[in-house]
């Protein structure tokens, strides 16, 4: 996820672009750049690092001109660097673009363009768009962008300027957000309204496969065939801070709601659209390497450790490879059994958690092949592992991890299916069932997010309780631990995640009317057992909130409250179960914690031991 801006009007573009990018830095901050069009051509300035670095670089020598585009990057293809920073240009310097999204077919397009003589200066997928537009450009930028957009696959919000067309900016959108701001004799383009809200509240939201032409006099919007489209003008009533959070009160709630998109982006290009196979070139393992693996060790901390718990269940069930998981801070002190037939998988949203990095180094020293699952391109985990599979969740600002967690689950499922595909350990019909189940998850997540009134009602009752017990069986034990961690870290309430079968070995002594139990009771081979565990809690005057499937009527005779999620394969259910538990923690915290996004004593990335 990156932030893009564009401006055309009567004022100097540079300060407007920089100010707009400042309000979009939450969308990415590993490099930034602007391009301003003036009589001398297109003046491009860009630098690695946060926007501040770019501001310092242009201080006293800002590019002059009243038309420009800008970008703040969250790297997906190509590590953070000056060369990979946007904007990107074609060979001739005629076309300059900024882009938010992932051009899935960039590799084949790049090969074709190179074969046709184009010279590339970066590793990014975005630069392909600049050269493709160049190829079609014959003096009509809008037409060239339309032609290029028809060839691009994946997600994009592109904003484009041409040296010889100083009186307009062209943009195109598919799956990545793009909004137009309408001023007096000036127009704005951005990833979201936060970038230009101080200048205008009149906006037009651009839809998929719209081509936009903005000039000082107004806006034209067209379909890919060039037919004009009428769009209504909306009035934004958020303030700028709310706009940065997409209108949500906290980044955590915004990021919870981003999960369907994040899941789709993480799956895109890895699960074939025909749902007939999984491809994971990022693993950087040959089929022979994969067949030689006789053990997997997963290393992580906190929420990422809970993702590794799900990974253990999934890989052992589908691939029949023994998987050992351990919190990184423990693994490194117990001389783990790792050799050259071990695959070590580290999971880390930030890719910088020092305990996890040290665990990774220990595994490498012992000869393991290493694979990182991380959300940050160019992070230490990514750089120091043999292979890397990125989650495409976009920047996660809230300390409490939500979209990073569910996209980590998506990646571990893809790994399990891929390893099983190569090792032939999974019945083809079962594999097809699971691939279809994965494909459905983003839409099912949307259903949960469309109505979670029952979660809000539960939180209103339970936010003042003394503690929570999250109990589950099987793969959802990870969900129980993750749900407990969420409520601990943002609501500061004691909470335990526990194997439900262990209740009678101690924890049931805690149950009383002020201690709420959350039972994960989705369809599973141990469903009847969890019903018995709920009965045990009820018999001791404990209140039970069940996370159950949409059409489950049996649960109604057991639990006090039921929060429902769509039915999916048991092995995939942690993705859906996670969402109401995140929301429960959030709404319980609202009543108790003054700062949900930055809870006390915590940091987003723990780079110290």
Query: By the criterion CB under 6 A, which residues form the site for ligand AGP?
Result: 301-304, 348-350, 353, 356, 399-401, 489, 605-606
Q: Which is nearer to ligand AGP, 89 or 303 (CB)?
A: 303
Distant-in-sequence, close-in-space partners of 29: CB < 8 Å, separation ≥ 6 = 50, 51, 72, 73, 74, 395
| Cα 582 to Cα 387: distance, rounded to the nearest angstrom | 30
* Cα-to-chain-centroid distance, residue 144: 31
Least distance in angstroms from the C-beta of 538 to ligand AGP: 31
Q: Residue with the closest Cβ to ligand AGP?
A: 302
Tokens of 451: 């109505």
Q: How far apart are CA 460 and CA 127, in angstroms?
A: 50
User: If 0-12 CB within 10 Å is exposed, 13-18 middle and 19+ buried, where does residue 268 land?
Assistant: middle
The secondary structure of residue 212, as a DSSP letter, is E
Among 601, 609, 77, 79, smallest CA distance to 357 is for 609
Please say whether the beta carbons of 44 and 89 come within 8 A.
yes
Min dist CB 546 to ligand AGP, Å, is 24
Q: How far is the CB of 353 from ligand AGP (least distance, A)?
A: 3
d(CA 96, CA 577): 44
Q: How far apart are CA 503 and CA 398, in angstroms?
A: 33
- The distance of closest approach from Cβ of residue 486 to ligand AGP in the complex, given in angstroms and rounded to an integer, is 7
Nearer CB in complex with ligand AGP: 565/585:
585
> What is the strand order of the sheet 295-300 is part of?
323-327, 295-300, 342-348, 369-374, 387-390
CB of 21 to ligand AGP, least distance (A): 25
160 bridge partner residues: 97, 170
- Does the annotation count 2 as an active-site position? yes
Give me the least distance between CB of 178 and ligand AGP, in Å please. 30
Exposed (0-12), middle (13-18) or buried (19+): which is 227, by Cβ within 10 Å?
exposed
- What's the rounded Cα separation, in Å, for the pair 566 and 47? 45
For residues 514-540, one letter each, b for 16 or more C-beta atoms within 10 angstroms of the residue's C-beta and e for the rest, the string is: ebbbbbbbbebebbeebbebbebbbee
* CB closer to ligand AGP, 147 vs 408: 408
Buried b (16+ CB within 10 A) or exposed e, 352-372: bbbbbbbbbebbbebebbbbb
Query: CA 84 to CA 86: how far, in whole Å?
Result: 6
56 is catalytic: no
The nearest distance, CB 396 to ligand AGP, in angstroms, is 9
Tell me the β-bridge partners of 68: 7, 36
Instruction: Name the catalytic one among 2, 187, 301, 319.
Output: 2
Closer Cβ to ligand AGP, 489 or 569, answer by number: 489
One DSSP character per residue, 286-319 reads -HHHHHH--EEEEEE-HHHHHHHHHHHHHHHHHH
Q: How far is the CB of 360 from ligand AGP (least distance, A)?
A: 11
**Residue spans of alpha helices (H) in 320-427:** 328-331, 354-365, 380-384, 403-423
Shortest reach from residue 230's CB to ligand AGP, in Å: 45
195 vs 346 by CB, closer to ligand AGP: 346
Closest separation in Å from C-beta 341 to ligand AGP: 26
Q: Which of 30, 34, 165 is nearest to 98 (CA)?
A: 34
Do residues 16 and 41 make contact, with C-beta atoms less than 8 angstroms apart? no
Of 130 and 581, CB closest to ligand AGP:
581
Q: Which residue has the tokens 């300027």?
A: 161
Around Cβ 510, how many Cβ atoms within 10 Å? 17
Q: Which C-beta is closer to ligand AGP: that of 420 or that of 485?
A: 485
**What is the smallest separation between the CB atom of 306 and ligand AGP, expressed in angstroms?**
8
Name 448's Cβ contacts closer than 8 Å, sequence gap at least 6: 565, 566, 576, 579, 580
Active site (catalytic) residues: 2, 604
């Amino acid at each position: 996820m990156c932030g893009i801006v564009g401006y055309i009007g009567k004022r100097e573009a540079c300060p407007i672009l920089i100010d707009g990018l400042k309000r979009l830095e939450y969308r990415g901050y590993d490099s930034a750049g602007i391009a301003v069009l003036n009589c001398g051509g297109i003046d491009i300035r860009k630098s690695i690092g946060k926007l501040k670095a770019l501001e310092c670089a242009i201080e006293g020598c800002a590019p002059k001109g009243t038309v420009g585009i800008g970008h703040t990057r969250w790297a997906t293809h190509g590590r953070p660097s000056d060369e990979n920073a946007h904007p990107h240009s074609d060979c001739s310097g005629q076309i300059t673009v900024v882009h938010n999204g992932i051009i899935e077919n960039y590799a084949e397009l790049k090969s074709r363009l190179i074969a046709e003589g184009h010279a590339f200066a970066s590793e990014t997928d975005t630069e392909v768009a600049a050269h493709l537009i160049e190829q079609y450009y014959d003096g009509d930028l809008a037409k060239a962008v339309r032609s290029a957009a028809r060839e691009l696959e994946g997600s994009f919000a592109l904003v484009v300027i041409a040296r010889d067309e100083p009186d307009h900016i062209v943009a195109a959108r598919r799956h990545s957000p793009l909004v137009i701001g309408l001023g007096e004799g000036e127009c704005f383009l951005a990833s979201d309204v936060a970038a230009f809200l101080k200048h205008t509240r009149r906006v037009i939201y651009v839809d998929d496969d719209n081509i936009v032409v903005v000039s000082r006099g107004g806006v034209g919007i067209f379909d890919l065939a060039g037919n004009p489209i009428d769009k209504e003008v909306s009035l934004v009533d958020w303030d700028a801070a709310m706009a940065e959070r997409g209108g949500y009160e906290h980044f955590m709630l915004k990021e919870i709601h981003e999960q369907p998109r994040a899941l789709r982006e993480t799956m895109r290009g890895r699960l074939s659209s025909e749902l007939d196979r999984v491809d994971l070139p990022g693993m950087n393992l040959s089929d022979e390497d994969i067949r030689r693996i006789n053990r997997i060790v997963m290393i992580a901390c906190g929420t990422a450790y809970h993702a590794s718990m799900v990974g253990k269940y999934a890989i052992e069930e589908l691939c029949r490879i023994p998987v050992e998981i351990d919190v990184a801070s423990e693994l490194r002190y117990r001389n783990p059994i790792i050799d050259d037939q071990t695959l070590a998988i580290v999971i880390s949203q930030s890719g910088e958690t020092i305990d996890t990095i040290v665990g990774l180094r220990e595994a490498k020293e012992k000869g393991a092949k290493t694979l990182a699952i991380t959300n940050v391109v160019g992070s230490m985990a990514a750089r120091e592992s043999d292979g890397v599979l990125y989650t495409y969740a976009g920047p996660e600002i809230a300390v409490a991890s939500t979209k990073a967690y569910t996209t980590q689950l998506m990646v571990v499922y893809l790994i399990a299916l891929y390893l099983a595909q190569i090792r032939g350990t999974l019945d083809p019909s079962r594999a097809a069932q699971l691939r279809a189940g994965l494909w459905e998850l983003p839409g099912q997540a949307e259903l949960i997010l469309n109505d979670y009134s029952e979660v809000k009602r539960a939180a209103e009752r339970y936010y003042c309780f003394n503690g929570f017990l999250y109990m589950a069986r099987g793969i959802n034990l990870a969900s129980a631990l993750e749900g407990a961690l969420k409520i601990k870290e943002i609501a500061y309430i004691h909470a335990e995640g526990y194997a439900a079968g262990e209740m009678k070995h101690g924890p049931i002594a805690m149950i009383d009317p002020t201690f709420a139990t959350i039972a994960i009771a989705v369809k599973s081979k141990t469903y009847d057992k969890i019903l018995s565990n709920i009965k045990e809690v009820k018999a001791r005057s404990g209140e039970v909130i069940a996370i159950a499937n949409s059409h489950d009527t049996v649960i109604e005779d057991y639990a006090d409250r039921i929060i429902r999620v769509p039915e999916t394969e048991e092995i995939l259910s942690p993705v859906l179960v996670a969402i109401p538990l995140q929301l429960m923690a959030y709404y319980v915290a609202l009543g108790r914690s003054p700062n949900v996004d930055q809870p006390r004593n915590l940091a987003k990335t723990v780079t110290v031991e």
